[in-house]
Structure 1
Amino acid sequence: MERIAKISSQKAVVIFSKSSCCMCHAIKRLFYEQGVSPLIHELDEDIKGREMERALMKLGCSPSVPAVFIGGKLIGSADTVMTLQLNGSLKKLLKDAGALWL
């Protein structure tokens, strides 16, 4: 949990991902296409990735990836992020966190 908290506060947008996950890829593209450069932490490339994945599930991420943090707060996984994008509130969260300047 401590490691997740530390990593998630390193940048305005942090995505915990797995390099082989297609939904993770889609969420990363969504942020890149909006001009946001998130910190990507690939759990399958981390020695403690499994442990971190369990901690993300305890925080409420189901499935565990992608897990998106904006401004150090857990936003959720792909479903939540897509809902925020569709209803227009994702941009406001990104601006408030300092990830977008427009």
Structure 2
Amino acid sequence: MDKVTRLASENGMVLFSKSSCCLCYALTILFQELGVTLTIHEIDQDPEGREMEKALVRLGCNAPVPAIFIGGRLVGSMNEVTSLHLSGGLVPLLKPYQTVLN
């Protein structure tokens, strides 16, 4: 759990991902289109990946990936991010992390 919280707080926008996950890829593209640079941690390529998956679930993720953290705070997975975006709540959260203004 310590590794996940440390990695999540080291950068503004953090995605915990698996290299074969299509939802993780979709979120990566969404954030790129919104002008945000993500730090991506591929947990399937980390020797502590299984422990990281368990930690993400304990933190409140329904599924361990994708898991988005903004400003060190867990936002959630694809469902939560999509709902937040459709309701207009995502873009204001991203303003401090946007490299390209839309």
Q: Give TM-score scaled by structure 2 length.
A: 0.94
Identity %: 51
Shift of 1:11: 1.1
Encode CA deviations 1:5-40: one digit per residue, 9 max, x unaligned: 110011110000000001111011100111100100
**Alignment match, 1:99:** 97
Letter in 1 for 2:98: L
RMSD of equivalent CA atoms: 1.0
**Alignment match, 2:58:** 58
**Alignment match, 1:48:** 48
Aligned residue-pair number: 100
Structure 1 SS opposite 2:11: coil
Name segments (4+ residues, structure 1) moved above 2 Å.
none
Shift of 1:62: 1.2
**Alignment match, 1:5:** 5
Letter in 1 for 2:92: K
How far, CA to CA, are the matches of 1:5 and 1:51 in structure 2? 12
**Alignment match, 2:86:** 86
**Alignment match, 1:14:** 14
Q: Give TM-score scaled by structure 1 length.
A: 0.94
Runs of 5+ unmatched residues, structure 1? none
Runs of 5+ unmatched residues, structure 2? none
